[in-house]
Amino acid sequence: MVVLKKSSNLTFLVLLAFTIFASSCARTQKLVEQGRYDEAVELATRKLSGKKRKKVKHVKALEQAFKKATQQDMQRIARLENRPGSEERIVDVYRHIRKRQEAVSPLLPLLSIKGYQAEFQFVKVDELETAAMKKAAKALYEIAQYQLIDAERGDKLAARDAFHNLDKIENYFRNYKDVNELKFKARELGTTHVLFEMKNNAQVVLPQEFENEVLRMGVDELNSGWNQFHLSEPTNETIDLNVRMNITQIDVSPERITEREYVDSKEIEDGFDYVLDGNGNVMKDTLGNDIKVPRKVLIRARVFEIFQSKAAIVSGHLEYFDASNNDLIRSTPISVESVFENYASYFNGDRRALSAFSRGRCDTRPLPFPLDEELLLQAAEEMKPIVREEILYSGANLAVLR
């Protein structure tokens, strides 16, 4: 019985393996019929790797898929060679051919269990890929040179495109001609130099520390990609854009105090009284104990509430100017409010009369009101992240703005 069970299990495993193998072969053939040759090569290669007994149909499936894939790629290259600007795509196809050949190479020679040996015609891709890379590098170099001509006329986006094309050349060849020098030139021509400043056009004088606090947001975090920010006029660079925080309104409210008072009251037990009979004697209960009754008293506490408030509002516009002609390009409203609020509460009377609500709020005292300058500096602190986020949001488009 045991032997029969083992034999049955073995038969099942053999059938399962055969089914899986047959299924994979059928799927490979289906992929070939659908023109999905690379997928067929990948599937067949994976199924054949590590197998000692390779069946003829599986070997032929890989042979056919590989042949079809290579033919397709070579036809694609032939078409692309007649299209200007296709140099990079041709390099990519050759690299794809190389990758496929490297995947199949470990299986060679590929021989089935019946002696069928598959034939694979490998493309001598080294020389072809190198030649394609030279053409791609030459094309990118020439395009970048034309773009740099436009960049020298003030087109910063052309300079950035030139930089990216020159950067692509380094994917093919290191130290190609004067690419490093041209990239440096493209970087300089493509950088937008921005002068950030503040102007107070309100009718109220701002403390000097207000401007210092806003400027303290730092330009390093604003210097991203192709934007270079300055807080003062640079000596060796030409400013392209002026970004100005133009303060047009400053309002500081008067010190406001709102007062309210109310009374909490409660009836509590405060001691006891003896119960007297008609003769003025203390009455006794059945056990001979004096009879007493709780003494009820009404207690009160007067609660005084004080609410203090003061606010400062600073408003204006974040403005973008073309530095070459001082034309206003863009304006974004900015407004911040700095608020001081304090609640104070105290009471007179019996603490026991306070409600739970009153107890939680009592024993706080009024605070000194902040000076106007202190509120304005707090407003400056709140303005910094708003201005920073607005500039960062516009950062990618600063060259376009100009």
Q: At residue 76, does pLDDT exceed 90? A: yes
pLDDT of amino acid 178: 94
pLDDT of amino acid 26: 67
pLDDT of amino acid 157: 92
Residues 6+ apart with CB under 8 A from 396: 225
State the DSSP string of 328-354.
EEEEEEEEEEEEEEEEEEEEEE-GGG-
Q: At residue 254, does pLDDT exceed 60? A: yes
pLDDT greater at residue 236 or residue 8: 236
pLDDT of amino acid 256: 96
Q: Are strands 292-322 and 327-349 parallel, antiparallel or unpaired?
A: antiparallel
Confidence of residue 89 (pLDDT cuts 50, 70, 90): very high
Q: Give residue-wise pLDDT tens across range 359-376.
A: 888 888 899 999 999 999
Asked whether 300 and 349 are in contact (CB, 8 A), the reply is: yes
pLDDT of amino acid 23: 52
pLDDT of amino acid 19: 44
What is the b/e burial string over 219-253, where b = at least 16 CB atoms within 10 angstroms of the residue's CB? beebeeebbbbeeeeeeeeebbbbbbbbbbebebe
Highest mean pLDDT among 14-18, 325-329, 338-342: 338-342
Distance CA 55, CA 24 (A): 12
Number of residues that this document lists for the chain: 402
> How large is the average pLDDT for residues 34-43?
85
Q: How far is CA 316 from CA 140, 264, 334, 402, in A?
A: 47, 48, 5, 22
Asked whether 175 and 210 are in contact (CB, 8 A), the reply is: no
pLDDT of amino acid 3: 45
